[in-house]
Chain A
């Protein structure tokens, strides 16, 4: 099976995947990248109203073949208590 590397960023920390994962194909690597985003979000929330979580897939040759991001935007509305 080919190895894919999934790098991630939560606005605070960029982590380069130094291990890689054996995955059947690029679609499986895409799914692995997408699945990581809610994990990262769960660990960071609640923490402010603006944050972007990113995951990208590199193939064995180092080419980025897929990139995904999950964005949190929270906004106070009229009647709410602004910090």
Chain B
């Protein structure tokens, strides 16, 4: 399995909701989340889970692995808009937007839990407090894309890549998937190029620069942060846009 074990043993999806809910979720809400009927499926790496143009009758929670949202230009150039990690619900908007306007594909082998829209509606009717948490989740997804736009539109490649690493480490840490400042980083250089809007050749150069500055090391598809403050400075990283409850509640 690709992902590190969830230290708490809790469902990553519950863990995620807890990490962003402004009001701590109650025992009843937690029990309802854990009882949500879920059809679990396993996907290999580089598969589409849902495609642009689909009209889904269900959403999915990512239970294990890395996925990404992407769109492709007519010339075949792909832009990755966002990465998803365990606990995320990448197509939650399909509950209200009938036609998907992006694809979501696996980056590494993924375990995915499909939840019928109807089951989510039932959950929300019974637990209005969870509506707020899930609403926050879609708003945060939009904030991630806004930050991504600044990142690829206005930052140099070095800062872009540092920023992506800061974001992934922070999000993985929120669901307990960072141990000893090390996490999975399953993307190939070509996939990183699609997310950063630069060529694979420049990804290679930029990675080399980040390693030379002793900010990170990468080996065996694992990222280790050697100098968190240095990486944050290089990235201009301020985690406010991730709206993690531990920051927003203050």
Contacts from A to B (Cβ < 8 Å): 6, 8, 13, 15, 17-19, 21, 32-33, 35-36, 39-40, 42-43, 55
Contacts and interface: CB of A to CB of B under 8 A. Distances in A.
Nearest to B156: A43
A39 B208 contact: no
Contacts of B205: 8, 13, 15, 40
Main secondary structure of the interface of B (DSSP, over half): helix
Contact of A35 (B156, B199, B204, B208): B199
Interface residues of B, number: 14
Interface in B98-132: none
A56 B156 CA distance: 23
Nearest to B198: A39
A43 B203 CA distance: 12
A40 B204 contact: no
A36 B202 contact: yes
Contacts, number: 39
Contacts of A18: 204
A43 B190 CA distance: 19
Contacts of B158: 43
Contacts of B189: 19
Contact of A6 (B157, B190, B201): B201
B201 A39 contact: yes
19 contacts: A6-B201, A13-B205, A15-B204, A15-B205, A15-B208, A17-B201, A18-B204, A19-B189, A19-B204, A32-B199, A32-B200, A32-B201, A35-B199, A35-B201, A36-B199, A39-B199, A39-B202, A43-B156, A43-B158
Contact of B190 (A13, A15, A21, A42): A21
Nearest to B206: A43
Contacts of B198: 39
Nearest to A10: B205
B201 A8 contact: yes
Interface string B209-235: 100000000000000000000000000
Contacts of A40: 202, 205
